[in-house]
Amino acid sequence: MDSTTIVVFVAGLFLGTLLNIIVIRLPRERTLSGWPRCTRCGRPLAWWQVLPVVGWLAQSGHARCCKRSLNALFPLIELITGVALAIFYARYALSVPFWYLSFVAAVLIVTGAIDWLHRSIYTFVILGAALIVLLATTVAPIHSFRNALFGALVAGFVFVIFFALARVLFPGKSSPFGLGDVYLGIFIGAAVGLTNLLPSLFYGMVMAGIFSAVLILAKRSGRANVPEYISYGTFLCLGALGYLVRWGLGGSDSPLGTGGVRYRSILITGRDTWAAHSEYSLSAARVWFSGKTRQKP
């Protein structure tokens, strides 16, 4: 790991701190201004308490001011953000895909954390981010506007069906699948594109299924206070983020996926050194939805 990657990782930790402020304040105060305060008693924090991860560890997970326990989710957010940005940099350097994926990761982390804590997804945040993603595809070589648009439409259509089924299967009570999940699906579809939609959603669905199975077993064993529903949006966010961290934007067979090494090589050296060591083929559907034609090197 070179020194620049370490710098990007540390910057990611501080970005995670800013994301924590959004996660904490958006549902409670609807304002992001002012110095950070204790999440338990509301007293202003000392400068060292704000430091990512270090501040939480220095307090042993308990607030210095009121001695009450602090949520371990917040240092976890900082670590996830730092690791994600470091991996994106190692793959793409400071190119357009790095900034694009950093934005997508930030939206997924904030949305997933708020849904976990409050079972709420903010419409203006997630749909606003989806609009930004769609506009970004028109000016940056990330993936095509057509790919993003079809991804958003297909994900939205499928998730509307899920929402309708949930309303039918759970009448007279709070639905386990809300409109916020539909909006989240639209954002993920736009962010990853139709060509990457299925695997990015699959990861989250598998994690949600495993977590649900654990809750069912806990409930049958007689454990009290087992939640009836899960924060489904949180798992969708984790799945999409995990897919992007593992494969990148283009999946395992694309120059922007594992081939991000190839993309970074071209960016730095100006030569396609990766192509000499790999076979390059894409299906007709992927080529069509990407809006580009590619020639075999």
Q: Where do the structural domains in the chain lie, given as residue ranges?
A: 1-92, 95-297
How close are the terminal C-alpha atoms of the chain, in Å?
30
What is the pTM assigned to this prediction? 0.81
For 253-293, write each residue's pLDDT tens digit: 444 444 444 444 444 444 443 333 333 334 444 555 555 54
Measured CA to CA, the distance from residue 28 to residue 185 in angstroms comes to: 25
Cβ-proximal residues to 206 (8 Å cutoff; 6+ apart), any chain: 239
Low-confidence ranges of the chain (pLDDT < 70): 1, 29-31, 141-142, 172-176, 250-297
Q: How far, CA to CA in Å, does 139 sit from each of 14, 100, 136, 144, 290? A: 28, 12, 6, 9, 14
Q: What is the model's pLDDT at position 69?
A: 87
Q: What is the model's pLDDT at position 280?
A: 36
| 140: amino acid identity, one letter | A
For 149-178, write each residue's pLDDT tens digit: 999 999 999 999 988 887 787 776 666 678
Using CB atoms within 10 A of its CB, is residue 267 exposed (0-12), middle (13-18) or buried (19+)? middle
Q: What is the model's pLDDT at position 50?
A: 85
Q: What is the model's pLDDT at position 47?
A: 83
Measured CA to CA, the distance from residue 122 to residue 136 in angstroms comes to: 21
Cβ-proximal residues to 161 (8 Å cutoff; 6+ apart), any chain: none
Q: What is the model's pLDDT at position 89?
A: 94
Query: How many other C-beta atoms can be found within 10 angstroms of the C-beta atom of residue 131?
Result: 13
Q: What is the model's pLDDT at position 290?
A: 54
Measured CA to CA, the distance from residue 168 to residue 166 in angstroms comes to: 5
For residue 230, what are its two tokens? 């899960």
Q: What is the model's pLDDT at position 175?
A: 62
Q: What is the model's pLDDT at position 29?
A: 67
